[in-house]
Amino acid sequence: MSRLPATTTASATPPADRPPRYSETHELIAVILLSLVAVLTAWCGFESNKWGGDSSVAFSEASAARIEAADYDSQARDARGFDLAVYSQWVLAEANGDTELADYIEARFSEQFAAAFDAWMADGQQERGPFQRPEYVPPGTEKAAAAKERADAKQAEALDFNEKGDNYSLMTVMFALVLFLAAIAQRGISPLATRIILGLAGGLALVGLVVLLTFPVRV
């Protein structure tokens, strides 16, 4: 009677060191998860840097606008001081009854003060002086107000950009946690623990992706 070769029986038995199919599946899922999350992490870092750069530019523009506003405020303050000095001389001339000197001084009022002075005189001098009139707007006042408004807008814009950059930075931390969990799942732990950790990592990655899609993009 002929016998079957010993090698035929041995080939029907899988090698003892061959990994189970579920281990291969877990490794594949972990590798895919690691790859996708690595790309998302890099994207978050890129966006965080972009928003941070825009925030720095906006802060610089706000500072420049505030410096400009301070210059215009100084110009308006100097103009007011000049008008006040001239007006004081007019008051003294009027008090001394020197009409000729008062007219001479009045002819040298600045354009802005002259408008307020004429309105004050026409209104019966009801206010304490022409400086109280709304017509009196020293040179630089309006430009200073516009520069301050621009500075405030740039300041708010910079804070908004900074917040968006911080949001992307937080997402980077979240995706780093996903990378950590996916790496732990490949460290030869029990199949049940592997499934739990991969499920947790996948859930966090999905939540992070959904949140990431709601963020504005800066390219």
- Alpha helices by DSSP H, listed for 107-140, are 111-122
Q: Is residue 192 part of a domain?
A: yes
Contact between 158 and 38 (Cβ < 8 Å): no
Whether residue 12 is contained in a domain is answered as no
Mean pLDDT within 85-110: 92
The pLDDT tens digits for 181-215 are 888 877 767 778 888 888 898 899 999 999 999 99
Mean pLDDT confidence for 42-68: 94
Query: Does some domain include residue 217?
Result: no
Position 174 in a domain: yes
> Which has the closest alpha carbon to 183: 28, 31, 41, 38?
31
CA distance 145 to 36: 50
How confident is the model over 67-93, as pLDDT tens digits?
A: 999 999 999 999 999 999 999 999 999
Per the structure, the complete domain to which residue 158 belongs is given by 27-212
Residue 8 domain-assigned (yes or no): no
Residue 83 lies inside a defined structural domain of this protein: yes
In a domain, 14, yes or no: no
In a domain, 152, yes or no: yes
Tell me the C-alpha distance between 64 and 150, whole Å.
Answer: 10
What pLDDT shows up at residue 9? 42
Number of domain units in the chain: 1
184 vs 197: CA distance, rounded Å: 8
